[in-house]
Amino acid sequence: MSLKDQITDDMKTAMRARETERLGTIRLLLAAIKQREVDERVTLDDTAITAVIDKMIKQRKDSISQFQTAGRDDLVAKETAELAVLAAYMPEQLSAEAIAAEVQAAVAATGAAGPQDMGKVMGVLKPKLAGKADMTAVSAQVKAALSK
């Protein structure tokens, strides 16, 4: 079953169970997927759908931090609930050790020698780790590895 089919089935289940918050989040996700499909005139595969979900998760995290600084606990709770629903569709996240091993392998494979080669290393890592790791953390590890 494709990820899009799973999301659609979860929407139907949420409708039947009258889970309004979960249903709203799933509908937002399906709308974002549909928007991207219409804009690009393609049918998204699981990898592209994972990228859409990852973008939505980043938006939620950013909103949560802004709402916390503004003291809006009601909105923080709403965004946190949406974040939990979206995170359920992401593949299992890699451990820090696995990410470090991938970074070292990519540095060795590209022959990167310093910070100027960061783009080469990230170009190799992004397709491998997209959706499986926080790319900001991966970037930080690459920067640390290249600065040695």
CATH number, domain with residue 78: 1.10.1510.10
Of 36, 68, 87, which residue constitutes the final position of a domain? 87
Amino acid 19: pLDDT? 94
Domain around 128:
96-146
Q: What is the pLDDT of residue 68?
A: 95
What whole-number percentage of the chain has pLDDT above 70? 100
Structure tokens at 50: 């994972």
110 and 72 within one domain: no
Q: Are residues 134 and 103 in the same domain?
A: yes
**Is there a single domain that holds both residue 47 and residue 113?**
no
Identity (one letter) of the amino acid at 7? Answer: I
CA distance 11 to 112: 46
Whole-model pTM: value is: 0.76
Write down which residue in 47, 62, 87 finishes a domain.
87
Number of domains in the chain: 2
Q: Which pLDDT score is estimated for 89? A: 92
Distance CA 93, CA 27 (A): 24
pLDDT reading at 47 higher than 90: no
Cα–Cα distance list, 11 to 4, 21, 35, 49, 52 (Å): 11, 11, 17, 16, 17
